[in-house]
Amino acid sequence: MNKSTNFSQDDLNLFQASRTFLFGLAYRLLGSTSDAEDALQDIFIKWQQQPKHEIIHPQAWLTTICTRHCIDLLRSHHKSRTDYIGTWLPEPYHHTEELLVESDYTLSTAFLLILEKLSVKERAAYILHEIFNLDYAEISDILLEQQNYCRQLVTRSKKRIAEQPKVLSTIPTSHQITLLNAFKDAIHSHDLDQLKALLSEDILFAADGGGKVSAIRQPFTDLTSVLRFFERLLFQAWTELSWEMCYLNGNIGFKLYDQQHHCVIVLTFHFDQQHISNIYVLRNPEKLK
């Protein structure tokens, strides 16, 4: 596609200044870093081609185009996620920030999975209003719906999300690091008692292999099953891998590497006040590229 002859350095700078916001919006809507990056490429092309005198509020224009584009992508992805082999987990978002940055539950795997249960417009309205603080008039313009209906979308979303209260908060980063260092030590020492002390009684353990590598098809939701799985398989398998603690999906997590230094597993977590309450194991190689 030809670049607009009226595209200036100021236009480029404005887009770049909005890029972090747009990526955060697209990732929360799509649950996929690769799809979010692709969306931003498409939005940039539209931004290049759009006559700038027709755009009164550039940030609002970019937000609108981003949201509508992601809604279209979500609708096109619906069948593939519905027919997905085993548990579907979002692609990991690896931040470049330091580990000490404050945690953000709205990027967590647990929270993104709750958003997956909403309709496309419920998800968009909730994210725009509750996370990015847009008012209902702005959301109405973006979604092409009446303000009262947008309000209903947000109300319904908040009610459904409130049914999962433990995903609406997280613990300080320093506490996460302490818990996860102890978790790693328990794995490497094959210490079942130490591991048991770190996990909540209502632990959820889910794995995503996407049908491409071996993984449990249904999540474990009881402590006994999770501990048995670690004792029989994961203690040995995970000890043979190299571990990197990093900032993933708004919390602390791990990347695990094989001897060729290929990332073969990403571990993300959710926490209650004292324990690890959710463990998400991403093994699908398509999502680890």
pLDDT tens per residue, range 82-124:
899 999 999 999 988 878 788 899 999 999 999 999 999 999 9
Is the pLDDT at 2 greater than 80? The verdict is no
Helix (H) or strand (E) holding 55: none
Across all residues in the chain, what is the average pLDDT? 94
What number of CA atoms fall less than 13 Å from residue 71's CA on the CB side? 18
Of the segments 52-56, 100-104, 107-111, 170-174, which one has the largest average pLDDT value?
Answer: 107-111
Is the pLDDT at 80 greater than 90? The verdict is no
Please report, rounded to a whole number, the percentage of residues in the chain having pLDDT higher than 90: 85
Helix (H) or strand (E) holding 75: helix 58-82
Distance in angstroms (rounded) separating the CA atoms of residues 148 and 136: 8
Is the pLDDT at 75 greater than 50? The verdict is yes
pLDDT at 169: 84
Q: Are 263 and 189 in contact (CB under 8 A)?
A: no
Q: Strand, helix or coil at 256?
A: strand
Q: Nearest Cα to 42, choosing from 15, 21, 5? A: 15
Distance in angstroms (rounded) separating the CA atoms of residues 40 and 48: 12
| Confidence bin at 35 (pLDDT 50/70/90) | very high
Q: Look up the pTM and report it.
A: 0.92
Distance in angstroms (rounded) separating the CA atoms of residues 110 and 270: 7
Angle at 232 between CA 227 and CA 235, to 5 degrees: 75
Which overall architecture, per CATH, does domain 173-282 show? Roll (3.10)
* Chain length of the chain: 289
Q: Are 106 and 28 in contact (CB under 8 A)?
A: yes
Helix (H) or strand (E) holding 54: none
Is the pLDDT at 62 greater than 60? The verdict is yes
Distance in angstroms (rounded) separating the CA atoms of residues 216 and 193: 23
Residue at token pair 């313009």? 141
Q: Nearest Cα to 255, choosing from 34, 37, 86, 95? A: 95
Please report, rounded to a whole number, the percentage of residues in the chain having pLDDT higher than 70: 98
Distance in angstroms (rounded) separating the CA atoms of residues 29 and 131: 11
- Find the helix packing angle between 136-143 and 147-162, rounded to 10°: 100
Neighbours of 99 (CB within 10 A): 13
Is the pLDDT at 3 greater than 80? The verdict is no
Handedness of CA 118, 173, 209, 90 (dihedral sign): positive
Q: What is the residue extent of each domain of the chain? A: 9-96+106-167, 173-282
**Burial class of residue 112 (count of CB atoms within 10 Å of its CB; 0-12, 13-18, 19+):** buried
| Confidence bin at 167 (pLDDT 50/70/90) | confident
CATH code of 9-96+106-167, in short, is 1.20.140.160
